Copies of this chain bind each other. A is one copy, B any other.
Amino acid sequence: MAGNETGRRHSRDDVVEAALRILDDLGLPDLTMRRLAAALDVQPSALYWHFPNKQTLLAELADRIVAARRVPAAADPAADWRDAVRGEAAALRDALLAYRDGAEVVSSTLALGLGSPETVDRLARAVARGGFDLETSHRAATALLHFVLGHVSHEQQRLQYDSLGVLADGDRSPFDEDDPAAAFAFGVDLFVGGLELSRSRT
């Protein structure tokens, strides 16, 4: 149950893996230091030998979640920059969806300035292949990232509600979306289109 069958003590990696398991099984609100410690059969204080605090642990989880994303086929340097941007965005969405509450975990550590800048950098590089300057690429990338995180957070929240059966049929807010993948693609295309237009105007 503790992910370590030999009687040995835990590594930092054991802690992270147990945390990811709790996150995926129970969700972010139930990922507490005390529950994590119990899953590892140690006292809560033992976790503070591996991580200075919970935020740092969450940042590590966020990094692993986004690092697990596939490299899009559109990363092919010969591919059109629009497809590169679409591919990066889709890969990011998939990675966030791979863990329960993944978008929230990544959002929170991003807001705190923790976590690596890799995520926004990759998006910015895809945009830059359209010939945009650094600042434009960067601004577009952060705007797109905000959309992706907001969209997937919302998507995952609905998953939870639906599984809890909280919503009576037809009790859904108009803010909800029947086809999340299509709504996502539409949003991404809005960005791509906006960039395209801004270029054709210079």
Contact = CB atoms under 8 A, between A and B. Distances in A.
A19 B173 CA distance: 26
Nearest to A201: B193
A92 to B, nearest CB: 14
Contact of A173 (B107, B113, B192): B113
A118 to B, nearest CB: 11
A105 to B, nearest CB: 13
A151 to B, nearest CB: 6
Candidate in A111, A190, A197, A198 with the most chain B CB atoms within 10 angstroms = A190
A138 B157 CA distance: 19
A121 interface: yes
A174 B117 contact: yes
B194 A189 contact: yes
A140 interface: yes
What range describes how many residues of A lie at the interface? 35 or more
A161 interface: yes
Interface stretch (A6-14, A46-54, A68-76, A141-149): A141-149
Interface in A90-142: 107, 110-113, 117, 120-121, 136, 138-140, 142
A124 to B, nearest CB: 9
Contacts of A158: 113
Given A142-B151, A193-B196, 18 more contacts: A139-B183, A140-B190, A142-B154, A142-B175, A142-B177, A143-B147, A143-B151, A143-B183, A145-B150, A146-B147, A146-B149, A150-B150, A190-B194, A191-B194, A193-B195, A193-B198, A194-B197, A196-B197
Interface of A: 107, 110-113, 117, 120-121, 136, 138-140, 142-143, 145-147, 149-151, 153-154, 157-158, 161, 172-177, 183, 186-187, 189-198
